[in-house]
Amino acid sequence: MQKSIFMLHLLKHIAAAILMFISFRVCAQDGKSFFIAKKDNKPYKNRALIIGTDRYADRTIGDLNNPVFDAKSVKVVLEEKYGFITTPLIDRTRIEILTALAHLREEVEKDNSSCNTNLLVFVAGHGKHSSDYGGYLIPSDAPPVASGRSDKYLYFSDLDTMIDNIPAKHILVILDVCYGGTFNEVFKRKRGSINEMYADKSEDQIIARRNAFVSRKYLASGGKEQVNDGVPDKHSPFVDRLIKLLENHYATGQALLFTELCNNMTKMVDPTPVFDNFGLEPDPAGDFILQPLPNPNAAAASGKLASNDAGGIGSIKVVVIPRASGGRDLTAMLNDPDIRLGLSKVQEMLEAKGISTVGIPEVKAGIRDDVKKQLVHASGANVYLEVDFARNVQEDTYSLTVTLNAVDVANNATLFYKSCPSGYFRTTDYGILTARAIKQVGDELAMKITGGNR
């Protein structure tokens, strides 16, 4: 009897485990699978700890030109354009930095019941590396560099653990220090096909999905090497590029994903910035996302353009259609959800510029006209914009080259033609890739379509 009761309890536990496994795992038709993240509706609070050190108590270490200037400039951009609550630490001691990290952990723990936290830690100053103890940060009160391990420095291995233990949902560490790439010498980047789960999602959906996973990311201005401090009061080359990227995304209103941040920053050479995950359990599906605040200047410009419809823009109607390529005809391409998503992003861009677009008509069977001619005629548009998508793959990153060909229907004259590469990102999503590719050509395209009547 006791054996039967034990077996009954065992079977119940096994059944419960199987049900839990099934409820959290979804299998795709192609056999791939992924875990569903629990939906989290808590709002986000952006915090930043910003450390900049120019001056050192020990004169043999040598003062620097730009870390404080860089730190203050990053602070202003994060506060005014991305809504961060910042804690600046300028020329601070080791104990002051450790105290700030402990205080930050307490604050985030208090916030966790009501909100999630995006935490950005920016560090600019002197860094060194030891073959025995790894890389380390030199605080302002540090003594001369010692041959052995010293409790006067901040070793990256210790900082890695302390920052990882702050219970923020997303953490990004940006290091503009010599040997910053040794921040995590143990973690090996996981490679996989996690992006397949995003293939049919919009940009907002992808951001929501990536926010659902805990992330720990770092970006450093160089690897196991020294980096350039830059000309006094002119920013280091690394921070100069970082600030320009943040400013550009504020101007366009587009979220800056960590993958895009890294792809842009690593175009620098001598040295080339490095990036990866850190911490004990980083989830490669997670991302640190910098969402800019609404830009009133951009909104005002958009409103002004839209109000000019009566001056000529309103009389123009554009139909956006795919260009037959890759051995596929237009009918097949119109049935491709990736193509449809990419076309919708082109339409959104035109509408944002005050240009009216019309939907793609249904292709009718039995009509002898070729499909393109049929679509253009049935739409009633006086301009058609033909879009070609060429996908490129490099390891686990993807790019689209989006070619735009705007044609005046009445005269069959080309108004605008340009190929626009998106750059490489860790997503297969045509919506995101198309939006990135065409974001710089919108004004020029609108000007050509309207004949300058803007």
pLDDT tens, position by position, 421-454: 988 888 888 888 898 899 889 889 988 888 755 4
Cα(20)–Cα(362) distance, integer angstroms: 44
Q: In the chain, which stretches have pLDDT less than 70?
A: 1-40, 145-148, 181-206, 223-234, 267-270, 281-284, 297-315, 326, 364-369, 452-454
Cα(29)–Cα(327) distance, integer angstroms: 25
Question: What are the pLDDT digits (tens) for 16-69?
Answer: 444 444 433 333 333 333 333 445 678 889 999 999 999 988 887 778 888 999
Burial class (CB in 10 A: 0-12, 13-18, 19+), 328: middle
Are residues 313 and 453 in contact, defined by beta-carbon separation less than 8 angstroms? yes
Residue ranges and CATH numbers for the domains of the chain are 44-290 (3.40.50.1460), 299-450 (3.30.160)
Cis status of the peptide bond prior to 271, with omega within 30 of 0: yes
Distances (CA, A) of 203 to 198, 254, 433: 9, 10, 9
What tokens appear for 107 in the block? 């604050």
pTM for the full model?
0.57
